[in-house]
Structure 1
Amino acid sequence: MQQARIPVAREGVPFIGLAALATLVCAVLSYDLLALCGLLLTFFITWFFRDPDRIPPQAADAIVSPADGKVILIEKVFDERFVQEHVYKISIFMNIFNVHVNRIPHAGVVESIQYNAGRFHSANTEQGALYNEHCAVTIRTARHQLYGVVQVAGLIARRIVCWLDQGDEVKAAQRFGLIRFGSRVDLYLPLQTQVEVRLGQQVRAGESLIGYLH
């Protein structure tokens, strides 16, 4: 029998617990207004760190979105920082209201993880993409194709979490990390990719189709 999963990111549990404890103390001391504010704050934090289950596309060559948010960039570039080849770069901007848990776009083996402390410009700008705090993960597929997924911090987001290690085998739509308080995730995909997503489209991590890797 499969154990039920709490639909909240584990990084949010301490914040939820602290808010709930403060609410309880205020209630016991009959600080009714503070207790009400604490209860609302507890509900908000729980909602903020929500981590719902998602159903990915069934096609073996499908690439799923690594993040909830809006597609703000689709272009062909030469990536000299992560995969060192010509790629499709697809950027997804996450606002504060999106689910913040990130997911693996396509199955494979983690080849490298690069973390850069960086700065905190607005994440929806090119300056932010180049210089902000980021964590870049490259993954080698079963067909030996290399792609990259990069978590980028923004003005508000100051905490990138990545749960992966080099050499990990990963599955499509698997949870691999989160960015607190919204930000941006960049995908670097081989030019053999059949891109299906559109500029301006709203996508959901682990569920929305980005394209097919041929």
Structure 2
Amino acid sequence: MLHREGQFIILITFFIVGIGTLLAHFFIDIQWLKWLVQGFLLVVLILILQFFRNPSRRANKSFDEILSPVDGKVVVIEEVMENEYFNEMRKQVSIFMSPINVHVTRYPASGTIKYSKYHPGKYLVAWHPKSSEENERTTVVVRTPKFGDVLFRQVAGALARRIVNYAEEGESVQQGDDSGFIKFGSRVDLFLPLDCEINVGLNQKVKGAQTCIATFVNPNEKEEVTY
């Protein structure tokens, strides 16, 4: 399945590849050069198709779990001050997406959208420490039954120049459903409560709507364990 955000680009690519293949067939007499040009055009088409792929994912919905919003690799796990919405310390988990990853963004939890905002900005490389605050980005907050407010942020990078965000304040959303798309790489940051349990490690590969990033910790159970 291909994502709707790629329909126009895929159509244009098919047109360019088709015209290019015909021109190469009729106007290039050197056989190896003709094959080289046609092979290159075919590779371009395959890359575009794989970039906009949207594999069907059925999330095992749970109010006790935060699922990964994207496919990629965990590059940050730390406690930070979140200054846009919470203005307090949060656990940050950041996931970097390479150009070969699926680039669909999915809701990490079920709940109600309390905040959704687009920020224009720079295009620093996605792993730059300031990219989460200075790059072009969108911030979405989902109010959940167990974790309270959960924030996830799409961050543009040096190659990603188009962020699509479907979240609208007030709507109810389901864990694992499409929330947007980032074109041509970048990262997504999650900001979670300090008392949740992180279930992933640095450099671990994760899959959107499949990998459990964090689990809810019952405060009463924590007290029982402590004493």
* TM-score w.r.t. length of structure 1: 0.89
* The structure with more radius of gyration: 2
Asked if residue 135 in structure 1 is aligned to residue 138 in structure 2, the reply is: yes
Asked if residue 14 in structure 1 is aligned to residue 17 in structure 2, the reply is: no
CA contact (8 A) 2:115 2:140 kept: yes
Partners of 1:187 and 1:115 in 2: CA distance: 16
Post-superposition CA distance 1:96-116 (Å, at most 9, x none): 111111111111111111211
**Is the helix fraction higher in 1 or 2?**
2
Question: Corresponding residue for 2:95?
Answer: 92
Partners of 1:23 and 1:144 in 2: CA distance: 48
Q: Which runs of 5+ in 1 are unaligned?
A: 1-6
CA contact (8 A) 1:83 1:138 kept: no
Which of the residues 171, 182, 185 maps onto 1:182? 185
| Coordinate RMSD, CA, aligned | 1.8
Partners of 1:202 and 1:143 in 2: CA distance: 26
CA contact (8 A) 2:163 2:182 kept: yes
Q: How does 1:31-110 map to 2 (within 5 A)?
A: 31=26, 33=35, 34-110=37-113
Alpha-carbon distance, 1:46 to partner: 0.6
Partners of 1:127 and 1:61 in 2: CA distance: 31
Post-superposition CA distance 1:145-187 (Å, at most 9, x none): 1110000011111111101211111111111111111101000
Aligned length: 208
CA contact (8 A) 1:20 1:39 kept: no
CA contact (8 A) 2:63 2:146 kept: no
* TM-score w.r.t. length of structure 2: 0.85
Alpha-carbon distance, 1:82 to partner: 2.3
CA contact (8 A) 1:134 1:160 kept: yes
Question: Corresponding residue for 1:169?
Answer: 172
CA contact (8 A) 1:57 1:209 kept: no
Post-superposition CA distance 1:86-141 (Å, at most 9, x none): 21111111111111111111111111112111101111121212211110001111
CA contact (8 A) 1:72 1:200 kept: yes
Change (3 A) 1:76 1:8: same
Q: Secondary structure of 2:117's match? A: strand
Alpha-carbon distance, 1:67 to partner: 1.2
Q: Secondary structure of 1:44's match? A: helix
Q: Secondary structure of 1:51's match? A: coil
Partners of 2:172 and 2:61 in 1: CA distance: 19
Q: Secondary structure of 1:126's match? A: coil
Change (3 A) 1:27 1:201: closer
Partners of 1:135 and 1:212 in 2: CA distance: 24
Alpha-carbon distance, 1:39 to partner: 3.0
Change (3 A) 1:58 1:148: closer
Instruction: Give the counterpart letter for 2:100 in structure 1.
Output: F
Instruction: Give the counterpart letter for 2:58 in structure 1.
Output: I
Q: Which runs of 5+ in 2 are unaligned?
A: 27-33, 218-227
Q: Secondary structure of 1:77's match? A: strand
